[in-house]
Amino acid sequence: MTGSLISTLEGRYYTDPAIFAQEQASIFEKMWFCAVRSGDLPNAGDFRTVQVGRESVLIARDRKGALNAFLNVCRHRGARICVDEAGSVKRAFQCPYHAWTYALDGNLIAAPNLTSMPDVDRVAYGLTKVHLREWLGYVWVNLADEPPTFEDDVLSAVTERLGTLDALDGYEIDQLSVGKRIVYDVKANWKLIIENFMECYHCATIHPELTEVLPEFADGYAAQYYVGHGAEFGDEIKGFTVDGSEGFEKLSALEEERDRKYYAITVKPQVFINLVPDHVIIHRMYPLAADRTVVECDWLYAKEVVDTGRDVSRSVELFHRVNEQDFEACERCQPAMASRAYAQGGVLVPSEHHIGGFHAWLVRKLESAD
């Protein structure tokens, strides 16, 4: 193989259920996982269930206003506590099988005949807690008994991409509001989606709207190829919108040097952060099978933009089209991952060589669990 071309992962990494199960155990159940937006659970009793690796995780706000995360499993006979994806309870969670009842903080508070079993420790038999951290207005959970530090696992991705964690400060992401959320059900392996997001060799081919706004992307090098680099808007472009027309006022705390630029960050294993002057786009991936990934995408704007009902459709439409174009490409690749033509994998051209670092990281994660 020439120096211009380096190898990709073999096709089996995208199709083998055994490899996917290993990824669930070694990656999604060990690393910090961005689960829900904190603002989606504003009141006591609000909850959401999220699939993290092989586990269903229940996230809820308690009566003191704190968020807690638990494995969504009754401690009695293992029934699932909540079967709904989201909702609200008044005071407690009750298992629908034998009525074991848990407070919003997870403690066991009631069960049939519990008073006749005084030796049952209500804390010890409470719901199994999961580590939780809030950052950028989102709830991140970790299922490991001893999780890696949030700084090493998550924050380092920002530093590696932008050069400094402070580069995020001007966007004040935790203060923004959701202007639009779209959920995509992608028939492709999660790694294909990450690889696609990391490179722009495909941009001139499938992203006409994006390359009109960000002309340098037509040359094939993604912003993520360079530390600290932001892709500049075209000279005639007024805003990050589907037609290049004017968007909203620059986020109030954003530095002038970041105006008229787009930055992208990949936070392994399942988050994309997209930064533009007047809004932020965050993708969260939920890998459900070797060939299926649900992607939840939030468009975040200044609170006054959302509260006053301003029209966000032109800025939403730009990245919605990018998403649809990208996911169609990933779905086009997925069936071929099982082909004998891809048994030994494919190749990466120079503008994609940084994807090789992602592949090496993945292999290390899988081998470290053996």
Asked, for residue 362, whether it belongs to a domain, the answer is yes
Domain boundary among 107, 142, 177: 142
Q: Tell whether 281 and 184 lie within a shared domain.
A: yes
The answer to whether residue 17 is domain-embedded is no
Overall average pLDDT of the 305-311 stretch: 97
**Predicted pLDDT at 2:** 67
- pLDDT band at residue 115 using 50, 70 and 90 as cut-offs: confident
| 110 and 171 assigned to the same domain | no
Q: Both 292 and 363 in a single domain?
A: yes
Q: Residue 228's closest CA among 248, 195, 255, 247?
A: 255
Q: Give the residue among 246, 249, 291, 297 at the shortest CA–CA distance from 273.
A: 297
Look at residues 112, 142, 172 and tell me which one is the last residue of a structural domain: 142
Higher pLDDT, 50 or 227: 50
Of 113-117, 181-185, 299-303, 357-361, where does mean pLDDT reach its minimum? 113-117
Q: Look at residue 118 in the predicted model and tell me its pLDDT.
A: 84
pLDDT at 225: 78
The 3-state secondary structure of 31-58, one letter per residue: CCEEEEEHHHCCCCCEEEEEEECCEEEE
The pLDDT tens digits of the residues spanning 118-165 come to 888 878 889 999 999 999 999 999 999 999 999 999 999 999 999 999
Residues 92 and 220 in one domain: no
Distance from first CA to last CA of the chain, Å, rounded?
Answer: 30
The verdict on residue 310 lying in a domain is yes
Q: What's the CA gap between 207 and 95, in Å, rounded?
A: 48
Query: What range defines the domain where residue 359 resides?
Result: 161-368
User: Which H/E stretch holds residue 331?
Assistant: helix 313-333
Residues 43 and 133 in one domain: yes
Query: What CATH code is carried by the domain that includes residue 189?
Result: 3.90.380.10
* Strand stretches in 67-213, DSSP E: 67-71, 86-88, 92-94, 101-103, 108-110, 129-135, 138-142, 177-186
Q: How many CB atoms lie within 10 A of CB 349?
A: 12
Minimal CA–CA distance to 85: which of 97, 98, 72, 100?
72
Residues 78 and 177 in one domain: no
pLDDT at 45 over 90: yes
- Mark whether 118 and 169 lie in a shared domain: no
Percentage of residues in the chain having pLDDT higher than 90: 92
Would you say residue 147 lies in a domain?
Answer: no
115, 175: one domain: no
Strands 271-276 and 67-71: unpaired
- The answer on 185 and 76 residing in a single domain is no
- Are residues 99 and 178 located together in one domain of the fold? no
With respect to residue 16, please indicate whether it lies within any of the assigned structural domains.
Answer: no
Give the per-residue pLDDT at 224. 83
Residue 123 sits in a domain whose CATH number is 2.102.10.10
Q: Counting beta carbons within 10 angstroms of the beta carbon of residue 84, is it exposed (0 to 12), middle (13 to 18) or buried (19 or more)?
A: exposed
| Residue 266 located in a structural domain | yes
Q: Exposure of 126 by Cβ count < 10 A (0-12 exposed, 13-18 middle, 19+ buried)?
A: middle
Between the CA of residue 81 and those of 90, 217, 267, 318, what are the distances in Å?
15, 47, 30, 39
Q: How many domains does the chain have?
A: 2
- The encoded tokens of residue 308 equal 């006053």
Give domain status of residue 336, yes or no: yes
In this prediction the pTM is 0.95
Regarding whether 81 and 191 lie in a shared domain, the answer is: no
* Domain final position from 88, 110, 142: 142
Asked if 104 and 110 touch (Cβ cutoff 8 Å), the reply is no
Q: Are residues 308 and 248 in the same domain?
A: yes
Residue 148 lies in a domain: no
